[in-house]
């Protein structure tokens, strides 16, 4: 069971012919399109590092299906060690790319579907889990990157999916055939969609009986007939057509390269259908996926923080203020916030548990806390990065003006810094910090894996507030405190009556 290298992954995409549109044009060659290449490179890193002995320990895993070595991005976690290694892998890849490497959505989809199909089968006697295991085997054998497609376009959010004016704002089953289902609908902002081999879909929310046809999960090749991708815009995206310098991270891009996926009467054979109407398991699938995915953010975004902290420190040094106390203070704040998020994601992994399927899940409460912290702290550490970088990150001239003999020389002098730092290098680093702190990466940290309100709902649900009330009642003396009574050797009332009596006697002695 061979794993692909980064180069092999990119070349493997040539065999696919997905229908992709961008800026009003059909893009037939995904691999060589300059607008897409940074995203392909970032995803390729998830393949490449699995081939390096120095990263193999966390980038590969042993398949529970075959016992063979596989890329960890195709693995179903079967122990706490797997959960921990997964987030270590996220941090590593964030450090290596400085952006989203896209493949974790599919990984979390594989795990969530594995867990949920087992539970569906237990209740209904269906065979979704066996089907899914066969599919998973294919994913592992071919080292595929599946795009995890959860979020629907959703239309009027006050209405349930089945009540929408336009039925296709949610993905749904149009027809059930003997050999499969016909589906239509729209999934929005799907990460890594155009450079994935497969698409695996999941419902986006809890469904009710009337939404039965919207309770659907399946996998299809990315170039299946009837599937259309519309690649989304990002902040400053066309800078990557203006040379190398201006984009800031020309190698790996900004965020994940999201796309809208439109399904028009797409046929899915039953062997690749993992939920078809079991609306009572949509909550489990959504929450299981969300738990896995929210835990990731304490890994990948911290990897990005490592890069931006390093970049900020470098800029301060180049500007001759590396030892200034306010700079050291800001860098320390950035580090403390990043490591707080890292602690959260390690905690939710170490506190994971075995599900009935045998697969392991993270601690959902702690995963949601992880992501909620990310929605705030990424903004804060990027704000400090901008603060340290200075106003230059929004006023830098273009690469073309640096190359122009008329303006280039004086610009090189203007942007010089401390001895040993070239103007070009200073501009490169400023562009990197601009790319990471000004662009689409910020709202991605806010809304990716669900918006803050979604995390708060999950945190509130799992907080066990009644037990906290019991704790407070016990210490306040409203509820019986068995441990206290054991310590004092009598019931509380007797104890406090005796204490009051002693206080009275003492008062008499004092006064």
Beta-carbon contacts of residue 198 (< 8 Å; ≥ 6 apart): 106, 139, 144, 145, 146, 147, 219, 220, 221, 222
Q: Round the CA-based radius of gyration of the chain to a whole number and report it.
A: 27
Beta carbons within 10 angstroms of residue 498's beta carbon? 12
Task: Using the minimum distance from each CB to another protein, give the nearer residue, 118 or 231.
Answer: 118
Closest C-alpha to 36, from 10, 59, 60, 62: 10
Q: Rounded to the nearest 10 degrees, what angle do helices 325-350 and 364-389 cross at?
A: 160
Among 185, 291, 311, 352, binds another protein (CB under 8 A): 352
State the binding string over 122-161 for another protein (x if CB under 8 A, else -): ----------------------------------------
What is the spatial distance between Cα 184 and Cα 495, in angstroms, rounded to a whole number?
Answer: 71
| 208 noted as active-site residue | no
Does residue 353 touch another protein according to CB under 8 A?
yes
CA distances 473 to 360, 460, 463, 476, 482, Å, are 35, 20, 17, 5, 13
Catalytic residue among 100, 341, 344, 348: 100
**Distance of closest approach, residue 479 Cβ to another protein, in angstroms:** 12
Catalytic residue among 19, 48, 198, 258: 258
State the binding string over 310-349 for another protein (x if CB under 8 A, else -): ----------------------------------------
CA 478 to centroid of chain Cα atoms: 44
Catalytic residue among 46, 97, 99, 191: 191
Task: Using the minimum distance from each CB to another protein, give the nearer residue, 133 or 462.
Answer: 462
Does residue 351 touch another protein according to CB under 8 A?
yes
- Helix or strand or coil: residue 315? helix
- Helix or strand or coil: residue 19? strand
| 326 noted as active-site residue | no
Region binding another protein by CB under 8 A among candidate stretches 4-12, 287-295, 314-322, 351-359: 351-359
Total residues at interface with another protein (CB under 8 A):
10
Does residue 355 touch another protein according to CB under 8 A?
yes
Task: Using the minimum distance from each CB to another protein, give the nearer residue, 269 or 464.
Answer: 464
What is the spatial distance between Cα 95 and Cα 302, in angstroms, rounded to a whole number?
Answer: 8
What is the spatial distance between Cα 362 and Cα 83, in angstroms, rounded to a whole number?
Answer: 7
- Helix or strand or coil: residue 368? helix
| 379 noted as active-site residue | no
Contact, 231 vs 26, CB < 8 A?
Answer: no
Among 26, 165, 323, 467, binds another protein (CB under 8 A): 467
What is the spatial distance between Cα 40 and Cα 102, in angstroms, rounded to a whole number?
Answer: 9
| 60 noted as active-site residue | no
| 258 noted as active-site residue | yes
**Distance of closest approach, residue 339 Cβ to another protein, in angstroms:** 22
Measured CA angle at 25 (ends 266, 248), to 5 deg = 110
What is the spatial distance between Cα 363 and Cα 292, in angstroms, rounded to a whole number?
Answer: 9
Task: Using the minimum distance from each CB to another protein, give the nearer residue, 177 or 471.
Answer: 471
Task: Using the minimum distance from each CB to another protein, give the nearer residue, 356 or 405.
Answer: 356
Catalytic residue among 118, 135, 292, 297: 297
**Distance of closest approach, residue 360 Cβ to another protein, in angstroms:** 10
**Distance of closest approach, residue 128 Cβ to another protein, in angstroms:** 18
Does residue 363 touch another protein according to CB under 8 A?
yes
| 293 noted as active-site residue | yes
Measured CA angle at 108 (ends 106, 111), to 5 deg = 110
Task: Using the minimum distance from each CB to another protein, give the nearer residue, 133 or 428.
Answer: 133
| 348 noted as active-site residue | no
What is the spatial distance between Cα 326 and Cα 323, in angstroms, rounded to a whole number?
Answer: 9
Contact, 297 vs 345, CB < 8 A?
Answer: yes
Task: Using the minimum distance from each CB to another protein, give the nearer residue, 359 or 426.
Answer: 359
Does residue 477 touch another protein according to CB under 8 A?
no
Task: Using the minimum distance from each CB to another protein, give the nearer residue, 400 or 482.
Answer: 482
**Distance of closest approach, residue 361 Cβ to another protein, in angstroms:** 8
| 166 noted as active-site residue | no
Does residue 464 touch another protein according to CB under 8 A?
yes
CA distances 482 to 277, 357, 490, 492, Å, are 50, 39, 10, 9
Catalytic residue among 300, 341, 344, 348: 300
Active site residues: 100, 104, 191, 258, 293, 297, 300, 444
| Sites of contact with another protein (CB under 8 A) | 351-356, 358, 363, 464, 467
């Amino acid at each position: 069971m061979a794993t692909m290298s980064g180069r092999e992954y990119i070349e493997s995409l040539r065999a696919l012919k997905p229908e992709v549109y961008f800026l009003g044009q059909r893009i037939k060659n995904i691999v060589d399109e300059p607008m897409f290449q940074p995203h392909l490179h970032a995803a390729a890193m998830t393949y490449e590092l699995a081939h390096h002995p120095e990263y193999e320990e966390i980038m590969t895993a042993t398949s529970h299906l075959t016992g063979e070595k596989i890329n960890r991005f195709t693995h179903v976690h079967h122990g706490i060690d797997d959960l921990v290694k997964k987030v270590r892998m996220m941090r590593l890849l964030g450090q290596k790319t400085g952006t989203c490497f896209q493949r974790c959505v599919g990984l979390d989809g594989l795990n969530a579907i594995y867990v949920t199909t087992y539970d569906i089968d237990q209740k209904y006697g269906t065979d979704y889990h066996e089907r899914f295991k066969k599919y998973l085997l294919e994913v592992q054998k071919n080292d595929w990157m599946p795009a995890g497609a959860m979020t629907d376009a959703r239309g009027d959010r006050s209405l349930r999916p089945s009540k929408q004016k336009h039925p296709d704002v949610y993905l749904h089953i149009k027809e059930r055939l003997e050999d499969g289902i016909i589906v239509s609908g729209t999934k929005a902002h799907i990460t890594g969609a155009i450079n994935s081999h497969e698409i695996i879909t999941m419902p986006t929310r809890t469904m009710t009986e009337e939404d039965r046809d919207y309770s659907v999960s399946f996998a299809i090749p990315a170039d299946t007939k009837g599937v259309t991708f519309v690649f989304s815009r990002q902040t400053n995206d066309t800078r990557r057509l203006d040379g190398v310098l201006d984009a800031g991270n020309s190698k790996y891009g900004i965020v994940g390269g999201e796309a809208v996926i439109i399904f028009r009467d797409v046929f899915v054979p039953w062997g690749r259908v993992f939920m078809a109407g079991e609306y009572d398991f949509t909550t489990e699938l959504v929450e299981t996926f969300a738990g896995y995915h929210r835990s990731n953010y304490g890994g990948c975004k911290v990897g990005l923080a490592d890069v931006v902290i390093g970049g900020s420190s470098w800029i301060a040094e180049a500007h001759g203020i590396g030892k200034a106390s306010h700079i050291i203070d800001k860098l320390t704040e950035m580090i403390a916030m990043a490591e707080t998020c890292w602690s959260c994601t390690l905690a939710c992994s170490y506190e994971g548990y075995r599900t009935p399927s045998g697969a392991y899940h993270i601690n959902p409460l702690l995963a949601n806390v992880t992501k909620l912290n990310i929605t705030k702290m990424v903004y804060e550490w990027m704000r400090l990065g901008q603060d340290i970088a200075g106003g230059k990150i929004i006023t830098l001239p273009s690469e073309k003006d640096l190359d122009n003999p008329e303006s280039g020389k004086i610009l090189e002098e203007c942007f010089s810094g401390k001895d040993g730092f070239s103007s070009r290098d200073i501009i490169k680093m400023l562009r990197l910090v601009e790319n990471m702190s000004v662009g689409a990466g910020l709202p991605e940290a806010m809304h990716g894996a669900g918006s803050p309100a979604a995390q708060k709902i999950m945190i509130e649900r799992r907080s066990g507030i009644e037990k906290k009330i019991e704790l407070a009642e016990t210490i306040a003396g409203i509820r019986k405190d068995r441990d206290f009574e054991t310590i004092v050797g009598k019931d509380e009332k007797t104890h406090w009556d005796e204490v009051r009596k002693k206080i009275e006697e003492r008062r008499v002695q004092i006064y």
